[in-house]
């Protein structure tokens, strides 16, 4: 039994090792980056890379600027660059230097890449279906059909659309393809996309597929929102701000002095007092009413004795006791906020009468 168990554990270990090895090996050949030549997903370009290899094109995949430099690319090669949004100014300069003489195709370069390559170029939306109409006979009567595309406003190119070209000619034998979806596994068979892709990337014996990353950028080449902003955005923001200031100065109103208006109804003070008294009586809140009477009495007495509005209840009680020559306990029973609360209406009335009498004595004394 023990020997069988040992052989069973050995067999399980071998199977696990094979599974891990297969999984690791397959992971090296798979990449989830869009338009990656090793990505079998719908947005990948593995199908196009395999067809190019089957047609005899030597396809070399590089994923760093150093690897591209080590290849020593010459005029017999075509260099296609995907993931162009991850190109930094330093990697763009290295790309220029390392691909001198080769045919370079940049797929959907964003604004900051175009600004580095050719500041005069701008990109805009293009038609979903465009037909080749240019001097390059490779693309005569071929049609690119995609879900979305971009056109570049240059004077030379192929597949015209909205005043520009989906495949535009740039400087130094570079071209810009604004229909990256034509290379994907999902849409390469739509229209003439496959023929366009094969003629564009397979016209030479060697194809270098460059997939750049931010790892090649220098430390001081930080990427921000302004990096991807078009050149007209900053002047437009300044113009909008100036227009807003002008609108404020034009339509603004200066506030003048406050205008007083007569009250529509004059209410006598005695009526207000009686109304508040009725409210206290209806709510049966003798404690609140007694507190209001005592507070009003303390304020009047403090003003009469010139103690100031900030005088505390204890100071008022002490001052009244000295002024009248009476005990503080007796005065505190009337004026202190901690004095007992009247338990009936007659007791509350008696408190009001005693407070009135106290204030009269203070005025007379």
Same domain, 206 and 83: yes
Domain membership of residue 44 as a residue range: 30-216
Q: Give the integer Cα–Cα distance in Å for 159 and 195.
A: 14
Q: What is the pLDDT of residue 200?
A: 94
Q: What is the pLDDT of residue 29?
A: 57
Residue 236 has pLDDT above 60, yes or no: yes
Q: Among 124-133, 267-276, 348-357, which is the least confidently predicted range?
A: 267-276
On whether residue 254 sits in a domain, the answer given is no
Q: Give the integer Cα–Cα distance in Å for 91 and 217.
A: 6
Q: What is the pLDDT of residue 336?
A: 87
Token pair belonging to 12: 């399980």
Same domain, 195 and 131: yes
Residue 10 has pLDDT above 70, yes or no: no
Alpha-carbon torsion 342, 348, 350, 352, what sign? positive
Q: Among 55-64, 136-145, 229-238, 279-288, which is the least confidently predicted range?
A: 229-238
- Which is higher by pLDDT, 149 or 349? 149
At residue 21 the predicted structure's pLDDT band, cuts being 50, 70 and 90, is: very low
On whether residue 244 sits in a domain, the answer given is no
At residue 229 the predicted structure's pLDDT band, cuts being 50, 70 and 90, is: low
Same domain, 78 and 159: yes
Same domain, 322 and 201: no
At residue 17 the predicted structure's pLDDT band, cuts being 50, 70 and 90, is: very low
| Phi and psi torsions of 123, nearest 5° | -115, 145
**pLDDT tens digits, residue range 304-322?**
888 877 888 888 888 888 9
Residue 167 has pLDDT above 90, yes or no: yes
Same domain, 300 and 174: no
User: What is the tally of structural domains in the chain?
Assistant: 2
Does residue 175 contact residue 167 with C-beta atoms inside 8 Å? yes
At residue 25 the predicted structure's pLDDT band, cuts being 50, 70 and 90, is: very low
On whether residue 241 sits in a domain, the answer given is no
Residue 250 has pLDDT above 90, yes or no: no
Q: What is the pLDDT of residue 150?
A: 92
Q: Tell me the mean pLDDT in the region 208-228.
A: 74
**pLDDT tens digits, residue range 86-108?**
998 889 999 999 998 899 999 99
Same domain, 188 and 275: no
Domain boundary among 216, 250, 284: 216
Residue 63 has pLDDT above 70, yes or no: yes
On whether residue 80 sits in a domain, the answer given is yes
Domain boundary among 177, 200, 216: 216
On whether residue 238 sits in a domain, the answer given is no
On whether residue 262 sits in a domain, the answer given is no
Query: What is the percentage of the chain residues whose pLDDT exceeds 90?
Result: 33
Same domain, 57 and 172: yes
At residue 80 the predicted structure's pLDDT band, cuts being 50, 70 and 90, is: very high
Same domain, 118 and 211: yes
Q: What is the pLDDT of residue 15?
A: 42
Other Cβ atoms within 10 Å of 114 Cβ, number: 22
Same domain, 205 and 276: no
Same domain, 282 and 201: no
Same domain, 89 and 200: yes
Q: Among 35-44, 278-287, 337-346, which is the least confidently predicted range?
A: 278-287
Residue 33 has pLDDT above 70, yes or no: yes
At residue 8 the predicted structure's pLDDT band, cuts being 50, 70 and 90, is: very low
Same domain, 170 and 61: yes
**pLDDT tens digits, residue range 256-307?**
677 777 767 777 777 777 887 788 778 878 888 888 888 888 898 888 888 8
Alpha-carbon torsion 127, 119, 168, 102, what sign? negative
Closest CA to 181 of 149, 143, 139: 149
Residues pairing with 210 in the sheet: 62, 81
On whether residue 182 sits in a domain, the answer given is yes
Q: What is the pLDDT of residue 1?
A: 46
Residue 206 has pLDDT above 90, yes or no: yes
260-263-266-269 Cα dihedral, nearest 10 degrees: -50
């Amino acid at each position: 039994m023990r020997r069988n168990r040992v052989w069973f554990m050995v067999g399980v270990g071998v199977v696990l090792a094979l599974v891990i090895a297969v999984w690791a090996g397959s992971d090296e050949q798979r990449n989830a980056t869009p338009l990656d030549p090793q990505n079998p997903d719908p947005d990948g370009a593995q199908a196009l890379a395999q067809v190019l290899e089957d047609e005899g094109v030597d396809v070399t995949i590089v994923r760093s600027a150093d690897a591209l430099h080590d290849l020593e690319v010459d005029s017999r090669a075509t260099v296609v660059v995907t993931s162009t949004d991850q190109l930094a100014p330093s990697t763009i300069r290295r790309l220029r230097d390392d691909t001198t003489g080769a045919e370079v195709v940049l797929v959907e370069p964003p604004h900051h890449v175009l600004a580095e390559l050719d500041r005069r170029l701008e990109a805009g939306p293009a038609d979903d279906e465009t037909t080749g109409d240019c001097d390059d006979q490779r693309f005569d009567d071929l049609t690119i059909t995609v879900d979305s595309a971009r056109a570049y406003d240059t004077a030379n190119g192929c597949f015209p659309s909205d005043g520009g070209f989906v495949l535009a000619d740039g400087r130094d034998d570079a071209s810009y393809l604004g229909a990256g979806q034509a290379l994907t596994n999902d849409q390469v068979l739509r229209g003439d996309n496959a023929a366009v892709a094969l003629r564009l990337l397979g016209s030479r014996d060697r194809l270098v597929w460059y997939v750049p990353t931010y790892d090649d950028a220098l430390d001081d080449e930080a990427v921000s929102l302004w990096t991807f902003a078009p050149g007209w955005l900053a002047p437009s923001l300044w113009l909008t701000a100036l227009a807003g200031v002008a609108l404020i100065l034009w339509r603004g109103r200066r506030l003048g002095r406050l205008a007083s208006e007569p009250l529509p109804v004059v209410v006598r003070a005695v009526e207000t007092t009686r109304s508040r008294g009725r409210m206290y009586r209806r709510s049966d809140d003798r404690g609140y009413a007694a507190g209001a009477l005592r507070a009003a009495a303390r304020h009047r007495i403090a003003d009469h004795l010139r103690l100031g509005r900030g005088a505390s209840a204890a100071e008022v009680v002490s001052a009244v006791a000295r002024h009248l020559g009476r005990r503080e306990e007796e005065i505190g029973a009337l004026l202190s906020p901690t004095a007992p609360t009247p338990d009936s209406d007659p007791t509350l009335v008696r408190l009001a009468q005693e407070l009135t009498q106290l204030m009269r004595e203070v005025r007379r004394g």
